[in-house]
């Protein structure tokens, strides 16, 4: 297969290079879920670094600079070895990252003949070393505190809904989620637990405010009103406590100070137990077993079926 690709090297390089850029673009614009597998180098998010890198490969290959292209791909191969190892070690896998790695590997195999194997190994080691020195990443939730969280309803089925206030798919799902959750709780079909999942750094602040607003409250409509306000604040990119308190105050909500350590410990345990690596996610646990759903469409469909099956 690689031999066939080499016959049309320039055209194939352009197609695969565009595919690589498209994969990273889709990753950054994904409308179905957010993942907490993330990384950066020198403060630059790897998604954008990947676009820039693949653009460089595309330019070199398109201009027929095959040796330069091979060197770039050798560097990239070293980086991908590190990133694949990072995912394996943490047991969290990103489909976009894996697809991008596949593009790099195929391109490397196509262009390897343009440089000596020893040169390719040297630059691959350089690429690996750069990532070892400069990569900053996380494959686990950002809660640093060891966190009893409020649950709503007392039905026979337990539902845990994992969202992040700064996750666009979570925000878009919330309005459709609201009537379904209210129905499940008021008909006593399910006990609902909202688990704030810190995909974004500021979510910890928002999670503390949510706990402060809902502690002692049992009316699910009030809980959902508090969540809606926090999603709106995130949409407005409010990131510091005084501004968030002012925003919530305008809506009649008070962000009381509460000890969040016990709640955060429970968040952490749920995240690990349910193997949550992206938002929105949902786990439904009942007599029929435990099932996990990801993405807005899957979650809304599963919760709707739960209500209809009662």
Domain extent listing, the chain: 2-138, 151-308
Beta sheet of 44-45, edge-to-edge order: 44-45, 38-41, 135-138
Place of tokens 């009103």: 225
Residue 112 pLDDT:
82
Residue 90 pLDDT:
64
Residue 16 pLDDT:
86
Distance CA 186, CA 181 (A): 9
Report if pTM > 0.75: no
DSSP for 130-147, written as a single string:
HHHHHEEEESS----S--
Distance CA 292, CA 94 (A): 17
Q: Which helix (H) or strand (E) holds 292?
A: strand 289-294
Distance CA 263, CA 73 (A): 46
Residue 228 pLDDT:
93
In tens digits, what is the pLDDT along the chain, a chain of 310 residues? 555 555 567 777 888 888 888 888 887 766 555 665 667 777 778 888 888 989 888 888 777 787 888 899 999 999 899 888 887 876 667 788 889 999 999 888 888 887 888 898 999 999 999 888 888 765 555 444 333 466 787 788 999 999 999 999 999 999 999 999 999 988 889 989 999 888 787 888 998 888 888 776 667 888 898 999 999 999 999 989 999 999 998 988 888 777 777 778 788 888 888 988 889 999 999 887 899 999 999 999 999 999 887 5
Q: What's the distance, CA 69 to chain centroid?
A: 31
Find all residues with CB under 8 Å of 152, minimum gap 6, and list them. Answer: 185, 191, 192, 193, 218, 220, 223
Residue 143 pLDDT:
46
Distance CA 284, CA 36 (A): 21
Class of domain 151-308: alpha beta
Cβ atoms of residues 101 and 24 within 8 Å: no
Class of domain 2-138: mainly alpha
User: DSSP character for 45?
Assistant: E
């Amino acid at each position: 297969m690689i031999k066939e690709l080499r016959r049309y090297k320039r055209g194939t390089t352009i197609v695969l290079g565009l595919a690589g850029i498209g994969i990273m673009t889709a990753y950054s614009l994904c409308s179905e879920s957010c993942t907490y597998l993330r990384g950066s180098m020198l403060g630059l998010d790897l998604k954008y670094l990947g676009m820039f890198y693949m653009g460089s490969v595309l330019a070199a290959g398109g201009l027929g600079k095959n040796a330069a292209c091979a060197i770039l791909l050798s560097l990239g191969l070293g980086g991908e070895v590190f990133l694949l190892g990072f995912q394996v070690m943490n047991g969290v896998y990103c489909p976009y990252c894996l697809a991008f790695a596949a593009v790099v590997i195929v391109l490397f195999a196509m262009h390897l003949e343009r440089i000596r194997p020893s040169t390719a190994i040297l630059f691959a080691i350089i690429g690996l070393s750069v990532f070892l020195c400069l990569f900053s990443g996380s494959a686990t939730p950002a809660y640093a505190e060891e966190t009893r969280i409020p649950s709503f309803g007392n039905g026979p089925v337990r539902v845990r809904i994992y969202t992040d206030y700064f996750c666009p798919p979570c925000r878009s799902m919330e309005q459709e989620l609201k009537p379904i959750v209210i129905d499940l709780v008021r008909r006593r079909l399910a006990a609902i637990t909202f688990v704030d999942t810190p995909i974004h750094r500021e979510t910890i602040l928002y999670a503390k405010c949510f706990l402060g607003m809902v502690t002692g409250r049992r009316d699910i409509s009030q809980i959902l009103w508090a969540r809606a306000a926090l999603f709106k604040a995130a949409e407005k990119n409010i990131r510091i406590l005084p501004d968030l308190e002012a925003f919530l105050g305008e809506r009649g909500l008070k962000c009381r100070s509460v000890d969040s350590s016990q709640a955060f410990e429970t968040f952490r345990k749920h995240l690990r137990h349910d193997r949550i690596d992206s938002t929105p996610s949902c786990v439904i646990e009942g007599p029929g077993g435990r099932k996990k759903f990801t993405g807005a469409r899957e979650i809304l469909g599963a919760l709707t079926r739960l209500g209809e099956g009662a």
